[in-house]
Amino acid sequence: MALMVLGTLPAWLTLTATVTAVVVTMALIAATAVLSFRLARSRREQNERETTLTKFSSAVMNSGAMILITDSQGRIEFVNDRFCQLTAFSRDEVLGHSVATLSATVNLAGTETGVLTNFLDCLQPHWKGELLCRTNGSTPLWTAVTTSSVLDDDGEPVNYIVSAVDITELKLAHERMEQLALFDSLTNLANRRLFQDRLEQALQSVARRQTQIALLFLDLDQFKQVNDSLGHDAGDMLLLTVADRLKSCVRAQDTVARLGGDEFTILLHDVSDTKDLTMIAENMLASLKAPIRLKGQEVLISTSIGITTAPADGETPDTLMKNADLALYRAKDKGRDQYDFYTESLNDRAEQLMTLERELRHGLRREEFFLLFQPQVDLNTGDITAMEALIRWQHPERGEILPDEFIPVAEDTGLIMPLGNWVLQQACMQIKLLHQLLGRGVRVAVNISARQFRDPGLENVIDFALRTSGLEPRFLEIDIHEGMLSDEPEVARDQLARIRRTGVTITIDDFGTGFSSLRQLRSLPVDMLKIGQTFVKEIPQDGPNTDIATTIIGIAQQMEKQVVAEGVETEQQEYFLRMHGCSLVQGYRYAPPMSFDELYRYFSDDSERELKA
């Protein structure tokens, strides 16, 4: 048909018509092709969409994350299998209900901020965070949640899609790590780090809110002894009991911490006045005083407490810790079961101690120390059986200083080592000289401090003093304070055995104030027990200390060890001791501590006196 038309039309028109016809034909063909292609494509796309939808819904259904879809109000329209698995809720139990019903009801006070417990709060167009989710069991589920939304044409959310991953394990591990880092593993109390943090925060709030806080420093007077004599598990039990009792003495907002060993600190908020604090401290002492049953035994412990307040006493954690520590030491000085408050004068005391230390060093170099000797008498015979060497310090400005003031400082600073060696050396030399002057022998007792006793070389020091002075070992007595023996009984026994090998006599000084058990005592290589002044002082009044004196005499007799009473001042005391079978005595009643010259005169003047070794 086209060719026919061509034959009747002008050439250009024919050409144009031909081109047009071709173009139209081609357009028609193309249109048909496009149409059929589009039809095919929409079918394919639909298929693809269906496949994709199937894939997506299968992915959502089987996802490792729990997926939950709600309407705009938070009513649950869909949950996947993982949701049912993790929460133990069936679909029927949750579909149609608000997500609010999935909110965990645990109290999260004190956990990190940014954690939500109300499920509705995470229904936001874009939200990411951690959420504690209720389950159909007893333990809630920690989840990491991502929320997105489906918007309508107006941009309003019609659905929320919540995808959540189970992070309970991670959370628990994190909590465990935090627990380890901030809490004491034995007692579960705050540890030093957490306590420091809380103290810092409390000090900041003191400045902001103009309140008062208090820091209490507390330690047990005989923890080490219990630990060593009854074992570490008993020690642990003791600490647990103490932790419980302390917690029961404070309010929930206060912090009780264990810094290590038997050291506890307590932070009290909003303290109104000193009366308040006094009451709390007295409460604590009373509650810790009650007997504790450990391994079938009733153990009594006593405690010392140092107290400081902020802002009055200081405004930094370091200052407060130092203050409370100083107050604790003063409380300890007062005896057992005591508390004391920090005062300015305690700081002065700390400075005094530093000065004392400096002067002690000078004193040692300038030989400002000397010895006095106090006789020990046998009541049955009137003989002097020994003499105790007692150190004195002739201070250039302060005059004579007694050992109770400087021995503890020498102990703390290590100066006791050269000082103790000097005493041993001098005592041996002077007594050897006395022997030579009198032509007969008498024993000298030398006090050994805790640090000297811990020195594994003590045996050699003693041996050296004996050899260089020429004093026979039987004329030297080593006085060891009972408290030093209970620290590490095994080590103490070995040390005593080594000292004994030098041939000297060993005495337990101040017996009855330490914690050695009878069993332990029986196995120790010692020759004598000394009844401390505190017990002798109570004689002849009735009371627990008289009982102790008689008990010690009884123990010594039973173990066939000699017993010496110290600090005897009165006739009644002498009578009581004699009646109970203790005939060895030392005290002002017989003679005060004397210088070497006085001692020599004492012996020479009384030529009747027989000297016994």
**482 contacts which partner out of ligand C2E, Mg ion, none, CB within 5 to 8 A by kind?**
none
Residues 476-515 that bind Mg ion (CB under 5 A): 479, 509
CB of 452 to ligand C2E, least distance (A): 7
Taking the least distance from each CB to Mg ion, the nearer of 121 and 569 is: 569
| CB distance 355 to 375 below 8 Å | no
Q: Tell whether residue 390 is a contact of ligand C2E (CB under 6 A).
A: yes
Of 166, 254, 538, 566, which one interacts with ligand C2E (CB under 6 A)? 566
Cα torsion angle, 464, 467, 471, 472, sign: positive
**Tokens encoding 507:** 């005495």
H-helix segments, 252-343: 274-289, 317-333
User: In 3-state terms, what secondary structure has residue 196?
Assistant: helix
The owner of tokens 């990411």 is 128
Residues 421-460 that bind Mg ion (CB under 5 A): 447
Q: Phi/psi of residue 528, each to 5°?
A: -140, 155
Stretch that binds ligand C2E, among 26-34, 216-224, 485-493, 563-571 (CB under 6 A): 563-571
Question: CA-CA distance, 241 to 298, in Å (whole number)?
Answer: 13
**566 contacts which partner out of Mg ion, ligand C2E, none, CB within 5 to 8 A by kind?**
ligand C2E
Taking the least distance from each CB to ligand C2E, the nearer of 387 and 391 is: 391
**Tokens encoding 102:** 């999935």
CB of 449 to ligand C2E, least distance (A): 4
Of 140, 235, 514, 567, which one interacts with ligand C2E (CB under 6 A)? 567
Output the residue with the shortest Cβ distance to ligand C2E: 587
**423 contacts which partner out of ligand C2E, Mg ion, none, CB within 5 to 8 A by kind?**
ligand C2E
Q: Tell whether residue 375 is a contact of ligand C2E (CB under 6 A).
A: no
Closest listed residue to residue 240, CA positions, set 258, 224, 219: 258
> What is the pattern of x (binds ligand C2E, CB under 6 A) and - over residues 436-455?
-----------xxx------
Closest listed residue to residue 581, CA positions, set 597, 598, 565, 567: 565
User: In 3-state terms, what secondary structure has residue 83?
Assistant: helix
CB of 364 to ligand C2E, least distance (A): 13
Pairing of strands 297-299, 157-166: unpaired
Taking the least distance from each CB to ligand C2E, the nearer of 339 and 406 is: 406
Stretch that binds ligand C2E, among 12-20, 26-34, 375-383, 564-572 (CB under 6 A): 564-572
The owner of tokens 């330690």 is 219
| CB distance 162 to 128 below 8 Å | no
Beta bridge partner(s), residue 306: 217, 340
CB of 171 to ligand C2E, least distance (A): 57
| CB distance 140 to 133 below 8 Å | yes
Question: CA-CA distance, 202 to 253, in Å (whole number)?
Answer: 11
CB of 366 to ligand C2E, least distance (A): 18
Residue numbers at the binding site for ligand C2E (CB under 6 A): 374, 390-391, 402-404, 407, 420, 423, 447-449, 479, 509-510, 533, 566-569, 587-588, 593
Residue numbers at the binding site for Mg ion (CB under 5 A): 447, 479, 509
